A and B are shown apart, each in its own frame.
Chain A
């Protein structure tokens, strides 16, 4: 019974939101507001269940060894509340500083490796090896030169003139446009997929007229 009511409620909201395409209306506005309230309410519950209860409250109330140390992050966390009291709002910077400083520190060498060094390394590849088909060889040339050219295009400290910077940046923008074209094509696919997902809900789960 609840399941059936649930399906109808879900369908009502789905159709209600689509009615926005015709005209803005109260049902859409209601949905817009509900989604914020519920998601944050859900967030509170899950955060309590997954973090505060098992990792803070239980170890301390069970008197686990060294659990009192957990009071340090707890107090730091509670300091966030001071944000709402202008006189002591500066205290909320402490938990932020705790998360940020060390977070940046652990992230720095790893981001350098993942997003810069490995990427540079992957650009330095042999363009041709025996047995490679022509489209792969051509692809490799396009990719390696394309990366270089697109980097030149983004390099604004030098005027885009002359053979290297001028031609380089011109090739760069062409490569970038092909890249954006691919992204646009995929974006269309993605957006349509989301719509298809909702239609599958309406026609399948709700109305049972498709599988």
Chain B
């Protein structure tokens, strides 16, 4: 067995160890290299930047925990952007697990121990204000503060359940649900996940069907994201944006070029780009999880490329492409 053969027969657990180290060590020696946002992501950011309290968007947590490392930061980044601009957000999920992940995202954004949190006001807490007939965003906040609720010092603002967001959760056969919501949102979601009546929510009163929605951002780990194009965009002209896993991202450039989606966040890089835009525009004071993760990604990519090249050198130098058959464990 010559050296090349020995090398190619290396126990694969050594390679496992190598990639493990390459993904751990950089956390302690950050490179801090800048990430430049691409047009595909900037276009989503700019679109949301134009919206305000009179508009409304859908954010889909259309993934399972398996791809949450990529999709969750996208969902959180878009929610943060919308909450900061007081854009009402309807949150949905194509899978049951997605419903829980969406709730986790809301919890993370409203966690008072974290930087740049939002102060969460539940549906029942501001019922007295609703009873007075106040439904306008600015007036609700004014009345809430007048009741003696001061905005905590480090908080980025209040978010009122039913005015700023509604967590609608999961429904099966979601393609048909999208179609149903083109007539009426409440026909599909009579209540939110906590059991509150969606019909009574001011944000629903102002946006009763998908036709009155300005954008749907689907953060997806499966081809279910295309349902938003097929059943939303093509049926009623709903603007759609994608946040997809890296594995799927290359397939969906066709929808960007055809104008069927306004933009796409592809994988952790896409999420990191959105986080950079939020950081640069003072929507957060700290880089997000995806941005930090991309720093680690640098070394891992270099290692993989090194392994490909090394494997090929050993393969050709050992002459395995021609005559000698490689023996041993593979």
Contacts and interface: CB of A to CB of B under 8 A. Distances in A.
Check A-B contact in the complex, CB < 8 A.
yes
Interface of A: 21-22, 39, 42-43, 46-47, 49-51, 54-55, 58-59, 99, 103, 106-107, 110-111, 113-115, 118-119, 121-122, 143, 179, 182-183, 186-200, 203, 210-211
Contacts, number: 143
A22 B13 contact: yes
Query: Chain B interface secondary structure, helix, strand, loop or mixed?
Result: helix
13 contacts: A22-B13, A39-B97, A43-B96, A46-B96, A106-B176, A118-B258, A187-B247, A188-B304, A193-B69, A196-B23, A196-B293, A199-B24, A210-B27
A116 to B, nearest CB: 11
Contacts of B268: 189-190, 193, 196
Interface string B267-297: 1110000000000000000000100110011
Query: Chain A interface secondary structure, helix, strand, loop or mixed?
Result: helix
Contacts of B27: 199-200, 203, 210
B68 A197 contact: yes
A47 B174 CA distance: 13
B190 interface: yes
A22 B27 CA distance: 24
Interface of B: 13, 16, 19, 23-24, 27-28, 66-70, 96-97, 99-100, 169-173, 175-176, 179, 190-191, 193, 195, 226, 229-231, 233-235, 245-247, 249-251, 254, 257-260, 266-269, 289, 292-293, 296-297, 300-301, 304
A29 to B, nearest CB: 19
A167 to B, nearest CB: 24
A182 B292 contact: no
Contacts of A107: 175, 230-231
Nearest to A183: B250
Q: Which of B245, B247, B259 has the most chain A CB within a 10 Å cutoff?
A: B247
Nearest to A23: B13
B97 A114 contact: no
B99 A122 contact: no
Contacts of B231: 106-107, 110
